[in-house]
Each structure stands twice: as structure tokens, then as C-alpha cells.
Structure 1
Amino acid sequence: MRTVPAHLEQRYVSDGWWTGATLGGRVAEWLAAAPDTGVHIHSRTHDWHGNYADIDQEARRLVSYLRQEGIEPGAAVAFQIPNWRESVVAFTGLAMGSYILVPITHIYGRKEVSFILEESGAVAYISPMAYGHVDYAEIVDSAAPNSLRLHLVVGDGGDRPAPEGVRRTFWAGLDGCAPATELPASEADNIAVLAYTSGTTSDPKGAIHNHRTLLSELGHMTAWTAVTRPNLMGSPVAHATGMLGGVLGPLHNSREIHLTDRWDPGHALEVMLAYDVGGGAGASIFLTSLLDHPEFTPQHAAKMVRVGLGGAPVPAAVGQRAESLGIKIIRAYGSTEHPSVTGMQFDDPAELRHNTDGRPQPGVEMRIVDEDGRNLPAGTPGEIVTRGPELCLGYTNPDLNVAFDSDGWYRTGDIGVVDQHGCLTITDRVKDIIIRGGENLSAAEIEEVIAKVPGVAEVAVVAAPDERLGEHACAVIRLLPGAEAIALPDLFPHLEQAGLARQKWPEELRLVVDYPRTASGKIRKVDLRAQLREGTL
């Protein structure tokens, strides 16, 4: 892990960001403080409705069960469960049991899961036998690391034997355990979570968060979640967005928890009316999929008066469309490594909310620098570097810690610009630049224009191979339902009107029904680029 400079540690403590509190201690307090508050799992196959008290009792049984199985506090325990009741129980129980949480999004397959289990040193793994296209048991059977001793299966599993050295047991075994009444203590500077990123690089990166960094994030989350109604969350609990926005944020505010295991916009609209909850928070796909649905009505819009978006680029056109329906959106910028860097407030002017990612959050410092790390003035794009009380303590792979310097600054790999209001706008990623004949083209700049073309629901601009120029821009477009197909020349008048230089205009266009996505809804551009190279897109 990296070392936080002493002057920063002193500041975070004196300013109240870092305290002696632990994640497990806080979770236990929050569950006990509002035992009758509802917890709702909206699922076609695993529907469940209970309250904080139910979760608390089952989480304490999980603590007892793991201790009975010889899994001691401080050990790394991975869980890979869709947004079912057991996912909430696993999260809260592992926190209260003082384990190191290793959440794995349920869509990860053999390559990612075997890598995470190995690198994290997980001694236990909690999952169904299989879900969707992923056979979790096969991953354990064929690629279990030497550290793994227990595979706790959620649901039915038959009599499939586990590999040598691994004991396979079933969730029903918790019923025979008494809820733990004495919870093991931890220290605030102990590791709380190994949060693996969404995998847009070759291998997931494990960001290390201790209790102090993780709990600091809740100070920022509260400012947003406290002013919105309970919200239906589609992001997985095992992803930072679902973990913070779907579980920890509501717990902290004694609010109802509403989760769904598969994001079906039609089902989500039904749930919103039946349970009087909002929807659409997270990556913009969650919002736009609701707005695009033929059953979306003004009744739904009335429950979505305030929606927070982040985790993926948010085109200004999305905010403008939402505003026309009476929905205020705010944009926020952060990452698994540094969850909340900037954000807007709902009472900020619409022009800033729609077009920028907001100002630095309290306690957060941010700079825009050039390739040599020199500060750049407002209005000049450069790489975003940050530091703050919720910044992670580095990566599980020490080789990746070159992203952090000795003064506590983190090089995000994102390109942004700060305006005269002090608001940040993300303009690109360092690795999301198209190099056309030696000239760097900003994919985000091109996407912002195309997103406003009538009929366009979403657009991703990526590099396509070019024998002459090396690369050129390809626009991959998802159309609104019922929109007429468009061809590349149809984009040219809009690009010209926006004043976009002709060398930035896309030279290819692909229409898709949907994109390959990460668990948080972010478009996996690495997959689109690969498909273009292979000729399969």
C-alpha cells in the first residue's frame, strides 16, 4: 500500500473525515437504529421483501457460520451474487464480521474471477452455482487458488463435489447458526474492501480501501441521497455504484433499500409505481432506458424529479431531454480508486448541471496537469490528478502504484478542463484518444455532437484501423426506438454546424441494438475496438 503523507493524514483527522469508526461498526449501528425500514429485492425469480432487522439477523448468522467454518476475522472473503437478498446479507455480514470484503460483479467470468480470487488471497468465496452464462462452480473447480478453503453456495447446488482442499457448503446451513451477538473488533486503518475495477483493461485492478477512506465517501453521498426519494438501483452491490448508492447510502440515511437483479426497464417502471420509488440513477443508460420505454409516463417522471448520474460519460443532450420532462439531473465524477472527486448540486443552474461534472467535493483537491505534471490554467485540457480523504491506498498489484506520487496525488488517466466557475468537464481518457495520421482526436468531443442528432439514443466513438492513417474515427450508434436508420452522410451537417474540424469527423458508422457493457453500464470501448479490428462489428 502507498503511504499517506503525514500532513494529509493530520488534515483529514482534524477536519473530521478520518475517525476511529469502522465499516462493520457503522453497519451494525445503522441496522439497529431503523429495524423496521424496508429492504426490497425486485426480481422475476428472487423477489424478496423484508426489513433491516431481517438483514441484521441473517448477517449475524453468516458471521457465526464463517467462524464455525474456521474463517477468521481479517481474512479476505469474496462474494459474487446478483442483487438478491443474499448479496445485501453478504455485504453487511462480512463488514460486521471484520472480514476484508472482495466484491465481484456477477457478470465476471472465469478469466476475471480466477484472477481476483488468486490476487486477493480469498479464503472463502460466496456465489450461486451459476447465474446467466457464468458457471461459478466451474471456476472454483478448475481454477481455485491455493488460498481458497470454502465455497459457500447461494441456492441449490446438487451434489457436485468441490476440488481437493476446498469445502463446498450451502447457504441453508446458516439456518442452524445462532446470530452472532459479539462482533469482532477491527481498526480504522485496517483494509476494509478490495474493490476491483470494471475491467476495461486486460486484468481487473484491485483498489485498496480501508475503513477511513470508505466511510469518508459517505459524507459526500449523503449530500445527494438525502434529497432524493428512495431509488431503484440496478448497479450490482458488488460494484462501487451499487455498493455506495444502493446499500451504504440508504443505510447511512435510514432509507429503504430497493434493488433489482436484472435491469429490465419495463419491470423497473412497474416497480416505480407500485412502490413509489425513483429510478434512473447511476450510469446514463439506466435513465435513458426508462425514458426510451414506450410505457414511460408523466407519473414516472414525477418520481424522478432528481437523478444523480455518473460512472460513465453523460452527454449534455441527456440532461436537456430529462429537464424537458421535469427531471433535474446532476453529473458527478469519480472512480473506484477515488469515488467522488467532483459533483454538482441540484440547485445549480441547468447549464452547469448538464454540461459539466461539477466542482471538487469538500476535502478533495484537484489539479489539471500536462504530460510533465505541470499545472495548467483554467480552460486548458490536461490530465486530472486528485487527492482526498476517500482516495484509495493503492492497488493490490504494487506495480500499478506508479499512479500515486509521494505527495499523495493520483493520476487518474482522465483528461478534463476546468471552466471559469471552477467546474470540471471530462473531455476524454488518456487511452481513449484516436490517433489519426499523427493527430490526436478526442472521442468525447465527437460523441457530444453526435449525441444531439435526432434519433440517436447513445453513441460511442472509437478508433478503427486505417491502412493509410493508422486509425480513424468510427461512430457506433444505438438509435431511439422507432427511429429511422441513419447513414454516415446524415451526420455531416450536424458535425459541420457544430464547427467540428473535418479531420475529426467519423469515417465509419455502425448501428447496434446495444453495446458490450461493464456491470455499471459503462460501454466497453475495448470490446468495440477489438470487434472493429476483427471485422465482427
Structure 2
Amino acid sequence: MDFDAVLLPARRAACIAASTWPDRTINDELDACVADFPEKVALTAMRAEDGATRRFTYRELAALADRVAVGLARLGVGRNDVVAMQLPNWWQFTVLYLACTRIGAVVNPLMPIFRERELSFMLGHGEAKVLVVPKTFRGFDHEAMARALQPSLPALKRIVVIDSDGPDSFDALLAAPAWENEPDAADILTRSRPGPDDITLLMYTSGTTGEPKGAMHSANTVMANLVEYARKLRLGHDDVVLMASPMAHQTGAAYGMMLPILLRARSVILDKWEPAKAVELIRAEGATFTMASTPFLTDLTKTVQELALPVPTLRSFLCSGAPIPPPLVEQARKVLGTKIVSAWGMTEIGVITMIDLDDDDERAYSTDGKVIPGAEVRIVDEDGVELPRGSVGRLVVRTCSAFGGYLKRPQWNNVDAEGWLDSGDVAKMDERGYIRISGRNKDVIIRGGENIPVFEIESLLYRHPAIDQVAIVAYADERLGERCCAVVVPKPGQTFDFASMVAFLKVQKVTLQYIPERLIVRDAMPSTATGKIQKFKLRELLRDELL
């Protein structure tokens, strides 16, 4: 596979000169961990279903990565070959990632929720040579799906199955044989190691706006972000990072798997989000930090309160992917005693803005933070002209952590000649440099020529005691062009109707034209696995009147 990472070469000289690219790989970092802390526990992995837990020291983790790397080479995997993994947060995920980087292969994590339609596109587009799947997960037969897809994917040569006892099992092919003792093992493990600018990670966008795109990352682009991220959060080698967000998403892969290795810290992973299990892990392992979307924070706060099991070690919880309702920040601070940090980022660039640990709690729900070192943000109009502070416009970003481009789709990179990436988000910046995301460009609702402040109305509705989730989307209107529809998921045991919504917003002194003209109540929102509401799906359902 040839990776057309056109955005990397032009930036290298400037990023090296500015010392924003570490110019190291995860291999360098793992080797340093083994040298400095060989017997330190590097990874604790729990399966929620039965509580089964595995622990690995840095020495054990590196040795197993070497073994699996040679095993992959025996399957014909070489430099720039794509190894796709449709895995939950299991220890095999971490080992496979590290193994691939030993031999120059490119890892393509795929969300376990994907089915034939998404998988056939991603595996075909990425030309995956090997696919690793669970035999079953959450009652679904992943092996059967993978084998049914294989005949239509000419590049896919092998399927490896975890929890199988067959000849294609992960243990039989990769983890059980002592591949590292083979005469050619040392050569295999060294001859094709990637450099810091080589593509090692292919991640498909999570699909809040439609067709997925394959974002290409190198060690430099990912690690440049992790260094400043850790510094802002004051994370170090004594920290214990809990990751229950999917590692097949950038949140889990970068901040749950790679970051602890950079820190010489410890990673604790959970394969299914069960709040009680998360509380158990935090207390047992002394977790100090986690990162997840708003629903995770809601569940954790509620569970700690209900079980009366405090989590005093958990110092900070970085929340991104969706706005944090003000009452949730207040409740979480009271119940968890944890600093809630709001942030904004993208698969293509990592986390770019976040509040400071010393900021007032109000900043966590009123802003998405300010830009981290190594990055720049601007709010511009449709012509690219920078707008005054407080104005709403397009959010563009220039950062050392920007991806190498979209695989086979450079025309979609959306980066100008000066390196500014159009995020696709609408935002405003206050006088102190804090930004607030107002929505996607496609989320803007123009009713009779007037822009509706979608985020502000959603934030107000989140304060209603009966509402658990809310999204405001447009529907077509012949006279006004667009009108507003509020889609609401009530809290358990609560009801909500149109009259209640109008009355509540009138009490909040909302301009009448801004009040949604339609309400739809649902049991659940269409969302990604990381909790982002998929507004494009709501718009499609409204268009087809399927809500």
C-alpha cells in the first residue's frame, strides 16, 4: 500500500525547527519504558462480562509485542501493510498495535459496532491484509461476518480470531508460539521499523456527517499532540489512566493506549461501559485520570452517588465530543470531587483546545477551552477573513498535530496553502481566547434569513429536569427555508411535551423566533459509540418523516 500523506513533507522542517515534533516513535518510547521501569505494571485489562483481568509489566508487554510482531511477519505482513482490528478494549488491541509498529505495518482500528456496510467499505478502501476480530462480542458473531466479507475483499488474506480454538486463532498464530526465539526474529524486528514520519495509524472518521474518511497519522503527528496534552493536564509517570472509551476511536487509541507509554505510566482498560465496573476499577487500580464523552460522565456520577463508593484518586475527567450540561458539571464536581475539563478536537488533529485545571468550573460548560501550545485557531467568515472576538464563524486550525491527509482522497483534505484546516465547525472566541463550538457548518439553521443559535437553545433545554438528551435540527419549510425541530430523550420516568418546552423557554426569555416549532420525543438518539449525537441521521429521518 502507498500512503499519500501529502500534508507531512511540507511541514517537517518547520516543525522540527520549532521542536513541536518529538521525532520519536512508539518503539522508542516502549524501549525506554522497559529500560527505566521494566517491572512496573504497564497495562491492566478487564473484561466487564466476567471481571477477568490481565496485567502486564513493561517487560512483559514489550516481549509479547515482539512475539506477535514476528507472528504477523510469518503471516506475510510487512512494511506498509494494513492490519485491521475490529476489537473492543482488550489487551490484544494494545499488543497488536505495538507489534505492528515493530515491523512497519499500519494499524487500522475499527469500531466493534460496525457491520457489513461500514466494514466492506473500510477494509476495501484501506486494503487491509489481515483482519483481527473477536469470535463473538456482545452476542454478535464477528468471525462469521468477517468470513462472509472476505471473498469480496481481494487484499484481505487472513482473518485472525480471538477466543477461538481453531487454526486461525490469535493464540495459535501469534501469541502462543515462541516466535521471538526464531533465528530470523531479530532481523524481522529491526529491519522495517518505521520512522517518525511514516504512516502507522489509519483511522476512519466516526461518522457524524456521513461517509467515513481514512485519516493518516504518523508518530510525529500523534505524539506532538500527546506531549502538550499531558503537560496541560499535569500528567506524569505516577498517573493511572482509565480508558473505557473505545480504543478503536482516537480517544482510546491516542489517550488511553499511547499516552500512558509516553508518560511511563499505567493504562487500565475496560471493554464494555458498565459504570459499576468502572467504579470498581478506579478504586482498585487507583485511577487518576480518564477521558470520555458526556454520557460516561453522567453514568459515573450517578453510579458513585447511588453506590456511595467514592473515587478520591480520580483527579481529572476530560470530557469531549459533546457539550457538557451545566448541571452535570456541578453534580460531578460535588459527587466525584474530580476536576471536569472540557475540550475540543478531531480525529484529524487530536485535542486542540481545553480549559486549564485552574479555571473556574463554569468554563467547563460555557466554553470548550483555549488552544494548546503548538496549535493556532481562528474564527473566520465565509471568505476566510478573521472575525472580531465574540463573532460566530468558521473554526479553522493550524497545528503541528495535523494528520497526513485522507487516504486516496487528497481532494478532501480541506487544508489551504498556509496550513489552515477547516474544521467544519462553527464557533466563537471570547476576549480571553476561549472558544465555544456552536455546531457543525451543516448544523447551522437559517430561519427566514436569521441564524438560530442552536447550541444556546440546546444548552437551555439541558437545564430542564425532565430532559436527558436534546438535539435541535432543521427541517425544510417552503416559506422560511428552514424551521427548527427539537429532538428530546427524556430522563427515565419523566415525560416532556411541546407545551412544556415552549413554556420553559419563554421563562428563560428566549426570543420567540428561536423557540423550536416542532418537538419529537424519542427513546434514544442515533449516536456514535463515543456518544456524539449524529444530527445528520436526525435530519435524514425528519426529511423522510421516519421520526
- Does TM-score exceed 0.5, indicating one fold? yes
Superposition TM-score, scaled by structure 1 size? 0.90
Counterpart secondary structure, 1:334: strand
CA shift at 1:439, angstroms?
3.9
Q: Across the two proteins, how many residue pairs are aligned to each other?
A: 527
Q: Which residue of 1 aligns with 2:127?
A: 121
* Distance in structure 2 (CA, Å) of the matches to 1:460 and 1:280: 26
Structure 2 CA distance for partners of 1:525 and 1:300, relative to 1, 3 Å: farther
Q: Which moved more, 1:271-280 or 1:324-333?
A: 271-280
Give the alignment partner of residue 436 of structure 2, picking from 425, 431, 447: 425
1:72-91, Cα deviation, whole Å (9 max, x unpaired): 12222111111111111112
1:142 is the counterpart of 2:153: no
Q: Which residue of 2 aligns with 1:512?
A: 522
Q: Which residue of 1 aligns with 2:458?
A: 447
Q: Which moved more, 1:25-34 or 1:369-378?
A: 25-34
Counterpart secondary structure, 2:473: strand
Q: Which residue of 1 aligns with 2:71?
A: 65
* Distance in structure 1 (CA, Å) of the matches to 2:293 and 2:216: 23
Letter in 1 for 2:72: L
1:311-364, Cα deviation, whole Å (9 max, x unpaired): 223233332332343332111111001112111111122232331111111010
Letter in 1 for 2:368: D
Counterpart secondary structure, 1:302: coil
CA shift at 1:157, angstroms?
6.5
Structure 2 CA distance for partners of 1:199 and 1:187, relative to 1, 3 Å: same
Letter in 2 for 1:120: G
Q: Which residue of 2 aligns with 1:226?
A: 235
Structure 2 CA distance for partners of 1:38 and 1:407, relative to 1, 3 Å: closer
Structure 2 CA distance for partners of 1:481 and 1:306, relative to 1, 3 Å: farther
* Distance in structure 2 (CA, Å) of the matches to 1:287 and 1:528: 24
Q: Quick check: 1:25–1:96 contact (8 Å CA) kept in 2? A: no
1:57-81, Cα deviation, whole Å (9 max, x unpaired): 2211110101112211222211111
1:74 is the counterpart of 2:77: no
Structure 2 CA distance for partners of 1:60 and 1:402, relative to 1, 3 Å: closer
Q: Which residue of 1 aligns with 2:222?
A: 214
Letter in 1 for 2:370: R
Q: Quick check: 2:208–2:532 contact (8 Å CA) kept in 1? A: no
* Distance in structure 2 (CA, Å) of the matches to 1:476 and 1:347: 35
Structure 2 CA distance for partners of 1:113 and 1:393, relative to 1, 3 Å: same
Letter in 2 for 1:344: I
CA shift at 1:422, angstroms?
0.9
Q: Which residue of 2 aligns with 1:385?
A: 396
Q: Which residue of 2 aligns with 1:193?
A: 201
Structure 2 CA distance for partners of 1:471 and 1:459, relative to 1, 3 Å: same
CA shift at 1:294, angstroms?
7.7
Counterpart secondary structure, 2:64: helix
Task: Please show how residues 231-310 of structure 1 align to structure 2 within 5 Å.
Answer: 231-277=241-287, 281-293=291-303, 296=306, 299-300=309-310, 302-310=312-320
1:342-387, Cα deviation, whole Å (9 max, x unpaired): 1111112223233111111101011111111111111111111111
Give the alignment partner of residue 93 of structure 1, picking from 95, 99, 121: 99
1:250-286, Cα deviation, whole Å (9 max, x unpaired): 2222222111111112322233333333576311111
Give the alignment partner of residue 353 of structure 1, picking from 356, 360, 364: 364
* Distance in structure 2 (CA, Å) of the matches to 1:25 and 1:362: 23
1:16-46, Cα deviation, whole Å (9 max, x unpaired): 2224322333233335533321422222147
CA shift at 1:467, angstroms?
6.3
CA shift at 1:240, angstroms?
0.4
Superposition TM-score, scaled by structure 2 size? 0.89
Counterpart secondary structure, 2:310: helix
Q: Which residue of 2 aligns with 1:396?
A: 407
Q: Quick check: 1:280–1:288 contact (8 Å CA) kept in 2? A: no
Q: Which residue of 2 aligns with 1:311?
A: 321
Q: Which residue of 1 aligns with 2:173?
A: 173
* Distance in structure 2 (CA, Å) of the matches to 1:196 and 1:98: 20
1:189-216, Cα deviation, whole Å (9 max, x unpaired): 2112111110223321111112211111
Percent sequence identity is 31
Q: Quick check: 2:405–2:413 contact (8 Å CA) kept in 1? A: no
Counterpart secondary structure, 2:240: coil
* Distance in structure 1 (CA, Å) of the matches to 2:82 and 2:51: 27
Structure 2 CA distance for partners of 1:294 and 1:341, relative to 1, 3 Å: closer
Provide the aligned C-alpha RMSD in A.
2.6
Give the alignment partner of residue 527 of structure 1, picking from 534, 537, 546: 537
Task: Please show how residues 300-339 of structure 1 align to structure 2 within 5 Å.
Answer: 300=310, 302-325=312-335, 326-339=337-350
Structure 1 unpaired stretches of 5+:
160-167
Counterpart secondary structure, 1:72: coil
Structure 2 CA distance for partners of 1:215 and 1:382, relative to 1, 3 Å: same
Q: Which moved more, 1:216-225 or 1:178-187?
A: 178-187
Structure 2 CA distance for partners of 1:493 and 1:333, relative to 1, 3 Å: same
CA shift at 1:169, angstroms?
5.3
* Distance in structure 2 (CA, Å) of the matches to 1:477 and 1:303: 35
Letter in 2 for 1:142: L
Letter in 1 for 2:272: R
